[in-house]
Amino acid sequence: MTGTPLGGRFPDAVDSVASAVVPRPVVPARRPRHLGSLVWWIVFAIGFLYFFLPLLGTFAFSMRSQPLFSAYAVVVDDPQFAESLFYSFLVGIITIVVSTILIVPTAFWVRLRLPRLRPYIEFITLLPFVIPPIILVFGLLRSYSGDPFPLAGTDFGSNVLLVAAYVVLSFPYMYRAVDTGLRAIDVRSLTEASQSLGASWFTLLVRVIFPNLRVSLLSGAFLTLAIVVGEFTIATFLARPAFGPYISLIGGNKAYEPAAVSLISFGLTWIAMGLLGLIGRQSRQKIQIAGAH
């Protein structure tokens, strides 16, 4: 816009003729803003350095291995790298599916039939913030090692516990995303319309509600994926062959490869967030609290 000859001199004045007549207030206002913005540039520069220096340091460190990029080659060739990444990715997908199946009907039902229950359900979905992952896995291990359900004793049982724990961690993001999505559509009218056309509850949920929630579900899903794929605490104590424990393992055993894996992991987070930003442009996510520090 500023490039066009019309708005070039007074970019702010295009919409109003009056402001072109009184250009004076623009001039004194601009000078202090210029001085002040120097301070803000410095603040931004500090933030920029804080963000990039550790990444740069990691990259430089990974380049110390000879020949160049050999650390990356070693990592990519390591079968455990692909296996653990695949495992974590799979767990992430299953988590998202289970979480969606639990959250969407619940949020829908609460909005339609049990609005009085809403604050309580919202409270429950916020509980994972009160109970950090280390406490959650502590309790899960103690509750499910013993007799009625000795899940932690078997491989399959531990996988179930891992997915269950991640589903719990995803509740705040998924519920918030779905609830925001439901607010934007007229749940009651859609329900009545599809039921008067003879749709069952299942058809209603799968063919009407789900498609309407696609954007919000995707944003919740990518956030969940970003958290789950690198998660360390729960996966370690359940002794799962996940990506987080794998990074820690080679971090203790090798010299330059951990730097390469760290950067790859950073790239994966970036991709997940980039996709989140792409799809979430309309529905702005209000809270993004990572639960896997």
Partner 1 sequence: MTAAPTTPPRGAPAARPGRRFSWAWLGVMPFLLFTLAFLVIPTLYLAVGSFENLAVGPKDPAHGTFTLQNYQALSQPNLADSYFASIEISLVTAIGGGVFGFLLAYAVIMGGLPRFLRSALMTFSGVASNFAGVPLALAFTFTLGASGILTPFIKAAGLSLNIYSKTALELAYLYFQFPLMVLIIAPAIDGLRKDWREASENMGASAFQYWRYVALPILLPSLLGTVILLFGNAFGAQATAFELSGGAINIVTMQITRLLRGDALNDPGIGYALAMGMVAIMGITIAAYAFLQRRAERWQR
Instruction: Write out the binding residues for partner 1, residues 59-98 only, by CB under 8 A.
Output: 60-62
Q: Does 279 bind partner 1 (CB under 8 A)?
A: no
| List 8, 11, 23, 139, residue binding partner 1 (CB under 8 A) | 139
Q: Is 254 left (phi over 0), alpha (psi -120 to 50) or beta?
A: beta
In the bound state with partner 1, the residue whose beta carbon lies nearer, of 21 and 130, is: 130
Angle at 23 between CA 22 and CA 24, to 5 degrees: 90
Q: Does 117 bind partner 1 (CB under 8 A)?
A: yes
In the bound state with partner 1, the residue whose beta carbon lies nearer, of 98 and 185, is: 98
Site for partner 1 in 198-257 (CB under 8 A): 223, 226-227, 230-233, 237, 244, 247-248, 251
Residue environment code for 14-27, b if the CB has 16+ CB neighbours within 10 A, otherwise e: eeeeeeeeeeeeee
Q: Does 105 bind partner 1 (CB under 8 A)?
A: yes
Angle at 208 between CA 224 and CA 181, to 5 degrees: 45
Reported residue count of the chain is 293
* Least Cβ distance, residue 197 to partner 1 (angstroms): 21
Q: Does 10 bind partner 1 (CB under 8 A)?
A: no
How is residue 198 annotated by DSSP? T
Site map 151..170 versus partner 1, x via CB under 8 A: ----------x--xx-xx--
Q: Does 7 bind partner 1 (CB under 8 A)?
A: no
Concatenated DSSP letters of 205-266: IIIIIHHHTHHHHHHHHHHHHHHHHT--HHHHHTT---HHHHHHHHHHH-SSHHHHHHHHHH
SS3 168: helix
| List 85, 96, 204, 261, residue binding partner 1 (CB under 8 A) | 261
Cα distance between residue 116 and residue 126, in whole Å: 17
* Least Cβ distance, residue 143 to partner 1 (angstroms): 5
Instruction: Count the residues of the shown chain that bind partner 1, applying the rule CB under 8 A.
Output: 93
The residue with tokens 């959650």 is: 136
* Least Cβ distance, residue 70 to partner 1 (angstroms): 16
In the bound state with partner 1, the residue whose beta carbon lies nearer, of 9 and 281, is: 281
